[in-house]
Amino acid sequence: MTGSEVSPSFRLVYVPGVIPGKWVRIWQERLPDVPLTLVPVPAADAHATLRAREAEAGFVRLPVDGDDLHAIPLYTETTVVVVPKDHLLTAADEVTTADLAEETVLHPLDDTLGWETLPGEEAFTRPATTADAIELVAAGIGLLAVPQSLARLHHRRDLTYRPLTDAPVSRVGLSWPKDEPSDLVEDMIGIVRGRTVNSTRGRPTARATEDGPATGRRKDGGKGQEGTAKKTGTAGRGRGAAKGRPARSGGAKSTRRGAPRRRS
């Protein structure tokens, strides 16, 4: 390495609730010489961080705003309502927004669900963050609807949660600036899409890799030489018949019937 060369590295943004450990472990196995730096940011700042090139890619909440970022959807989270453990709603396995009609529902400024109409009664103020809203739930001020990962992130022993079946949901995806992706970004795309290490270090090399990981399956259905051998054997029997070679069963009977009788 010359003095002007810079060792490659990869900065990966992630938002609260997303646990990138699985993908980071695969990265470290496949690219041990390329350090990966995790950059935690609030969900509201993730897109701006990518636009400012402060990270090469990131796990963000979708949709991305504007048309200057690419995104690959990864999964959709269950929405839950966070309640005190002694709340009446804990008697149900799941609840609906109608069940919250007489409840005060908190709406933090960093909300990730994008409500058109918030259920229940409006709180007297909007907490600045989800963490602040959790504290208000614990104080008995109201309830909170969030993606399940955020309920787990802010877990408290005096709180629990139930699935909220008819609420908006949050989707998580991998996003990066809308330029020609670098080799390292292609490596991360390959990892999150489940491509194998033999697929050119995870980078797409053919049309098939855009539809899913390569399987190595032959175009002949996987028969290979076995299928060819069967065809050859069939053709061989046909050539034998064409040359007048008798079959093992029918030919023998025909020979006995056609043999001349000896005179006594």
Partner residues linked to 11 by β-bridges: 37
User: Under 8 Å CB-to-CB from 134, ≥6 apart: which residues?
Assistant: 82, 144, 154, 156, 159
User: Under 8 Å CB-to-CB from 110, ≥6 apart: which residues?
Assistant: 42, 43, 44, 128, 129, 130
pLDDT at 12: 97
Write the DSSP symbol of residue 249: T
Residue 229 contacts residue 221 (beta carbons within 8 Å): no
Residue 59 contacts residue 67 (beta carbons within 8 Å): no
Cβ atoms within 10 Å of 171's Cβ, excluding its own: 16
User: Under 8 Å CB-to-CB from 28, ≥6 apart: which residues?
Assistant: 36
Query: Which residue ranges make up each domain of the chain?
Result: 10-76+170-211, 79-163
Give how far Cα 2 sits from Cα of 5, 6, 70, 94, Å. 5, 9, 34, 61
Q: Which structure tokens are listed for 256? A: 């006995």
- For the domain spanning 10-76+170-211, the CATH number is 3.40.190.10
Helix H or strand E encompassing 11: strand 10-14
Answer whether 10-76+170-211 and 79-163 agree in fold: yes
pLDDT at 112: 93
Q: Tell me the three state secondary structure of residue 103.
A: coil
The pLDDT averaged over each successive group of 10 residues in the chain (264 residues) is 62 96 95 96 94 96 90 96 97 97 96 93 93 97 97 97 97 92 94 80 41 41 40 42 45 45 47
pLDDT at 148: 97
- Find tokens 């041990």 and name the residue: 32
Cβ atoms within 10 Å of 50's Cβ, excluding its own: 26
Residue 80 contacts residue 162 (beta carbons within 8 Å): yes
Distance, CA of 67 to CA of 198 (rounded, Å): 32
Prediction pTM value = 0.71
pLDDT at 5: 55
What are the two backbone dihedrals, phi and then psi, of residue 83, each rounded to the nearest 5 degrees?
-140, 160
CATH-assigned architecture of domain 79-163: 3-Layer(aba) Sandwich (3.40)
